[in-house]
Chain A
Amino acid sequence: MIIPKRIWAVTLGLSILLLMPFSALIGALFSPSNAIWDHVRETLLPTYLFHTTLVLVISVTLATVIGASLGFLFARRAFPAKKWWRLALILPLAIPSYVYAMITADLFSITGLVGRTLAEFGVGVSLSWMNIPGVSVMFALALYPYVFLLTESTLRHHGTHYETAAAQLGVGPLKVFFKITLPLVLPGIMAGASLVAFEVLNDYGTVAYFNIPVFSFAIFDAWFRLGDLTTALRIGGYFIVFTFLLSWAMDRLKKPRGGRLETPKAPLTKLKKPKRVMAWMGLFWLLTTGIPILQLIHYLTLAPLPSGLFMALFRTAWVSAFVVAIILVLSLVLMQPLRRRRMPVIRMASLGYVIPGSIIAVSLMGLTRDLDVISLGFLGGSFLRYSVAIVIFAMVIRFLTLGMNALTSGYKKMGVRYSLAAQSLGKSWHQTLRQVDIPLLRESLISAGLLIAIDLIKELPLTLMLRPFGFETLSTLVFRSMQNEEIARAAGPALGMIGLSAVALIFMMKERQSDARN
């Protein structure tokens, strides 16, 4: 396959641009140590490491169990109103995890609505969520849909071919599950689990409110409380090493095993006791999603809407759409050289997802300052710094990973044969991309775009730290009310986010259905 020289140059340039912010973190790792760092290393770091690991293990395991079971159920069994169930069960994705955790933990605590109601009937709830198991359960309930979606789509792509064959050869259903289904679906489960893991690692709001000292908390703690940004960046540097190792380990587990047969879709087995299963599912949904959303709606009736809500809604929508478009185009371009050879620099450049937004923001602050100094003469001082352009650039850095991952697997599925055929028939690189690749990658592009959009709608730290003044999005409005301990006033923008994400989710579902029909 022929890729023009300029594309190589462009992709290399883009990668370096995307990598620049991280130089600050790596630099901090090698800066001389000071008293604050010594204090952090001696008294806090072991705790951070231990707690981070513990929260990750519990939340990822729980999210995986819930998500994978649902994924299996949806991919392998038929039952009524399935598409509505699916939409309902992925709805937690639309709620920022810190809003979700605060509301749900409160609801089921002694001071919350459910706890209080139970107390009226003499049932005392003294369940405390403000601890490591509590925060992990909250993360699992907020994030399991990632595992659910990816498990389901992996299973559906595999068809039931192997399972049927094994069953016909007299293998029991449990053995079929562990020997055949599970190995087939493991890459999908792990892909979902790693999304959960990185979302957990990126979270700051929840762990700060629950007061759980984990890595992301440590970064802010060093910066805000101990007043030392260098130590904060240094913790960020170690954090990146930690997450790179984690992502490398997870990638190894994501590698698809065995061959793959594209089989005609067999009709799904009917669920044996649909009513009972649906009752359990309904109860689970009501407790973990329905009641929290009802609580938000209830709050909405208590407090006035914050001013500027509709402007924020509009702004969130267009920024998200704009960034999704850039990420998809950029991923397409960056993928081209990767189809020819391994290019670690591009892979590195698209690892932003493993780095907490706040760290990207701090790195960019330093970088834009230097750029503005250089450009002082002709752009008039602070052209870049704290502009929407830089917010968008930061979002691209952070979420490019999702676009690249989707296209990597999309291209893998597609292979090079179509592109090669097109080029040997005289189509240029550009025409091949437009007329062959993009139509074939349509499904990957759309589902990646929507997944990114849902993340962007919730995005807080980058926007908060890099935005120009007056630039309020739904998440900054939520943040403001939460800071004031006025949860009721966060309900309007929070529901706005859920609404926007729900639109994206419905599109995603529609797209899948039309894809399944074709």
Chain B
Amino acid sequence: MKTLLFTLIFGVVLLAGCEGQDTLVIYTDRHYETDDAIYDAFERETGLSVEILSASADELIQRIQSEGETTPADLLFLTDVGRLERAVDADILTPMDATIVAAIPERYVHPDAYYTGVTKRARVLVYHPDRVDASELSTYEALAEASMAGRVVIRSSQNVYNQSLFASLLDLQGEAAFDAWLSGLKSNLARRPAGNDRDQAKAVFAGEADVAIMNTYYMGKMAFSDDPYERDVARALEVFFPNQATTGTHVNITGLGVVKHADNVEAAEALITYLLSENVQNVFAATNYEYPVLESATVHPYIEAWGAFNEQTIPLSRLGDLYPTVSMKVDELRFDQ
């Protein structure tokens, strides 16, 4: 009994973690291994050490809120602008020094610099050239037309990428047109929404559907996948940027902001500067197939081959406010059922 008690106490004491002074703590829902290499390089250059806690965006926001002033987090790095907006609303971020983000297009930075985009991704159409002629495709809106009946696949409407796509379309189309579009899209689906983005591309490859809605970098990841089947899928499919003649293709960002009660603001800002530097922007593009936010950075050749495209111009920060309305609408329509 005594031994047991001792072990218990010893265990608890041993495990009560300590955070060093030179440690920069990042809470993130970006789990890419390629990011780890970037942090390692930052550690070597600055002598600071970087610690990562990964979980889903909302868990992290909740956690920082509940940690309050004692939070070990210095930076919050999330993969969706709507979630970043939610973090701003939750009052857990603090504006960063605006000079850090001077080179970044205004569109990807919060008006008061509560967060900045680091990479961006377009939500595009992916189709099988044997079954779809590119001339059949034009806009997100056209996916709801009768000619697309039973040919479209998309993942769950609960997913953030879809929430933010839908929010942008709601903003652009207005409520009545959006409602009609959403129900048209639902009736054109080849199958009930399920699985992840890659699954949608695979469904098109396998002939279950002709067009998938998905993020660009997944095409890059499949094209250079460990799995030969995924490489086949990427090779067989084509990418189409919708709404080029109209409102532009939907683009979302991954971005980060300094946590309000961060202990290490200086180091946090140093890391943001580092992530936005041209070299590191190139690395993001080269290893994770994302678009860099810094315009002078180089896009991966595979992605570059798709050519330049027009983006939606609505302010990204507006999307977060539209999430609740979008959520209610998809639920009422039973979009996923």
Contacts and interface: CB of A to CB of B under 8 A. Distances in A.
Interface string A213-250: 10000000101111101000000000000000000000
A464 interface: yes
B174 interface: no
Interface string B63-107: 100111010100000000000001000000000000000000000
A110 B208 contact: yes
Contacts of B25: 469
Contact of A480 (B54, B86, B334): B54
A225 B163 contact: yes
Contacts of B195: 130, 209-211
Interface stretch (A71-79, A257-265, A299-307, A439-447): A299-307
Contacts of A213: 336
A469 B15 contact: no
Nearest to B163: A225
B17 A468 contact: yes
A486 B207 CA distance: 23
Nearest to A383: B16
B56 A381 contact: no
A387 interface: yes
Nearest to B11: A322
Interface stretch (A170-178, A186-194, A365-373): A365-373
A108 B194 CA distance: 16
Contacts of B331: 39, 43-44
B328 A39 contact: yes
A113 B337 CA distance: 27
A386 B59 CA distance: 13
A227 B323 contact: yes
Interface string A300-335: 001110110000000000000010011001000000
B58 A307 contact: no
Interface in B12-64: 12, 15-17, 25, 29, 31-33, 36, 51-59, 62-63
Nearest to A361: B59
Contact of B218 (A44, A223, A467, A485): A485
A488 B336 contact: no
B198 interface: yes
A124 to B, nearest CB: 9
Looking at B51, B323, B331, which has the most chain A CB atoms within 10 Å of its CB?
B331
Interface string B295-337: 0000000000000000000000000000110011001101011
A116 interface: yes
Looking at B15, B32, B198, which has the most chain A CB atoms within 10 Å of its CB?
B15
A168 interface: no
Interface in B186-213: 191-199, 202-203, 205-208
A169 B25 CA distance: 75
A382 B66 CA distance: 11
Contacts of B56: 224
Nearest to B53: A469
B158 interface: yes
Contacts of B193: 211
Nearest to A119: B206
A100 to B, nearest CB: 16
Nearest to B36: A307
* Interface residues of chain A: helix, strand, loop or mixed (majority): helix
A385 B69 CA distance: 13
B31 A386 contact: no
Contacts of B17: 387-388, 468-471
A36 B324 CA distance: 9
Given A110-B206, A111-B205, A209-B196, A389 B62 contact: no
Contact of A130 (B8, B67, B191, B202): B191
B176 interface: no
Contacts of A366: 66
B194 A211 contact: yes
Contacts of A229: 62
Contacts of A116: 229
Interface in A159-216: 209-211, 213
Contacts of B208: 110, 126
Given A224-B56, A468-B17, A469-B51, A485 B62 contact: no
Nearest to A113: B229
Interface in B220-249: 221, 225-227, 229
B67 A211 contact: no
A227 B16 contact: no
A382 B67 contact: yes
A381 B38 CA distance: 32
B66 A111 contact: no
B156 interface: yes
Interface string B139-182: 00000000000000001101000010000000000000000000
A381 B72 CA distance: 11
A162 B140 CA distance: 70
Contacts of A470: 17, 51-53
Given A211-B156, A227-B86, A302-B227, A485 B198 contact: yes
Nearest to A115: B206
A23 interface: no
B123 to A, nearest CB: 15
Given A126-B208, A211-B158, A389-B15, A469 B52 contact: yes
Interface string A120-137: 000000101011000000
Contacts of B221: 485-486
Contacts of B226: 302-304, 486, 488-489
Given A47-B337, A126-B208, A470-B51, 5 more contacts: A111-B206, A227-B324, A383-B16, A387-B17, A484-B31
Interface of A: 36, 39, 43-44, 47, 110-111, 113, 115-116, 126, 128, 130-131, 209-211, 213, 221, 223-227, 229, 299, 302-304, 306-307, 322, 325-326, 329, 362, 365-366, 369, 372, 381-383, 385-389, 464-465, 467-471, 476, 480-481, 483-486, 488-489
29 contacts: A36-B324, A39-B328, A43-B328, A111-B203, A111-B229, A115-B206, A131-B192, A209-B194, A211-B155, A211-B193, A211-B194, A211-B336, A221-B158, A226-B327, A387-B12, A387-B15, A464-B55, A465-B59, A468-B53, A469-B25, A469-B53, A469-B72, A470-B53, A481-B31, A484-B31, A485-B197, A485-B198, A488-B226, A489-B33
Interface of B: 4, 8, 11-12, 15-17, 25, 29, 31-33, 36, 51-59, 62-63, 66-68, 70, 72, 86, 155-156, 158, 163, 191-199, 202-203, 205-208, 218, 221, 225-227, 229, 323-324, 327-328, 331-332, 334, 336-337
